[in-house]
Amino acid sequence: MEAELAAAELRPARADVDLGAVRRNAERIARAVLPASLCAVVKADGYGHGAVPCARAALDGGASMLAVAVVDEGVELRRGGIEAPILVLQECRGEAVAELVRNDLVATVDSVAGGLELIKASEGRTAAASGRQKVHVQVDTGVHRRGAEPESLKDVAAVLAGSPVVELAGTWTHLAVADDPADPFTAKQLHRFRAAASSLRAAGIDPGVLHASNTAGIAHTAARHDYVRAGMGLYGFAPPALARGALVGLEPALRLSAKVTMVKTLDRGERPSYGRRRPLPERSQVAVLPLGYADGVPWRLFECGGEVLLGGLRRPLAGSVTMDQVIVDCGPEGGVEVGDEAVLLGEQGQERITASEWAARLGTIVYEVVTRIGPRVPRVYH
């Protein structure tokens, strides 16, 4: 904590992460999906919130497994002292397979070649590793990104099930449109998934635990199976259908703020920042904040009417977001001083700006907003 605070003092911009909110969100999700278990997804550095601290908070909140996208994310968790099962969601090859085995991560396989490579790497597992190398097989039910085709699933699973050094511990798929409860394609995917699991059982292969649901999939009771992989819900965001239902009360865990580094008064008609894109409508005070698009403040936020909170009021941007700085129009009344706190995401006074608001303005998704907050913004954990 001292090192985090020191970094925040060196650069007067910070992202405060409420680990209590992450833990409480995990508790809410874990209760909502019973009797399924919670797999907490902490890929992309915990969706920009910090993988290791958020993994610990999610486990404290009731998660029994973690998931990451790639092997190095799993290694980071192991080096951070996390001992819980960690599922790597992408099939990996080459040195990454050996690293996966060395760190006792749970593999995903979706091809015969990937299965054979995992088996070969697992033959050298150390005696310290407990039991066989665990692996889940992914089946493609309609996203068409990764996963074994249903007709080739048995071939992939048979390679794994026939090996003495690996254990087929699970079978999973990913949902394409779960955030729209009215879309019938989710039901079609779930039917394909159940049929794929049944085909393995008919072939004498135990598919292990089944999981298909992401946070949005919680709206579909039939999608929950043995595990639910919750990502964005852990950090306080859920599709509207869930925010009003099973996951009401989720708490956003991240607050992005900065200290004002310069204040000046400019005449009406002056055009601050690159491109001189907006004339000030009247003589106004402007304030400079020390973070920009290199820190995850989108360049387009200015043209989309983005605002920040200063003195408990919403204040518009005065010009283009630059790589390292933002200029805010504080109006003719001003009242802002160097050192004042500006909030880009979060609450100040009675006002609140959320990542969902940014996403709506920018025509993007919350996932992109929070994962783009850059590594040079110090994270301070509470």
Angle ∠(260,270,318) on CA atoms, nearest 5: 40
Burial class of residue 128 (count of CB atoms within 10 Å of its CB; 0-12, 13-18, 19+): exposed
CA distance 36 to 52: 24
Angle ∠(273,275,281) on CA atoms, nearest 5: 65
- Residue 176 half-sphere exposure toward CB, CA atoms < 13 A: 15
CB atoms near residue 382 (< 10 Å):
12
Catalytic annotation on 227?
no
Catalytic annotation on 274?
yes
Beta bridge partner(s), residue 106: 87
Beta bridge partner(s), residue 259: 341
Q: Which of 138, 144, 141, 68 has the alpha carbon at shortest distance from 110? A: 138
CA distances from 76 to 1, 22, 51, 184, 381 (A): 18, 19, 8, 39, 18
**Inter-residue contact 328 to 315 (CB < 8 Å):** yes
Cβ-Cβ contacts under 8 Å for 142 (sequence gap 6 or more): 176, 185, 188, 189, 192
Active-site residue identified among 188, 274, 367, 381: 274
Phi and psi at 233, nearest 5°, equal: -60, -35
Q: What is the DSSP letter of 327?
A: E
Phi and psi at 55, nearest 5°, equal: -60, -45
**Inter-residue contact 140 to 173 (CB < 8 Å):** yes
Amino acid at 250: L
* Residue 17: alpha-carbon gap to chain centroid: 13
Active-site residue identified among 43, 47, 134, 227: 43
- Catalytic residue numbers, as ranges: 43, 274
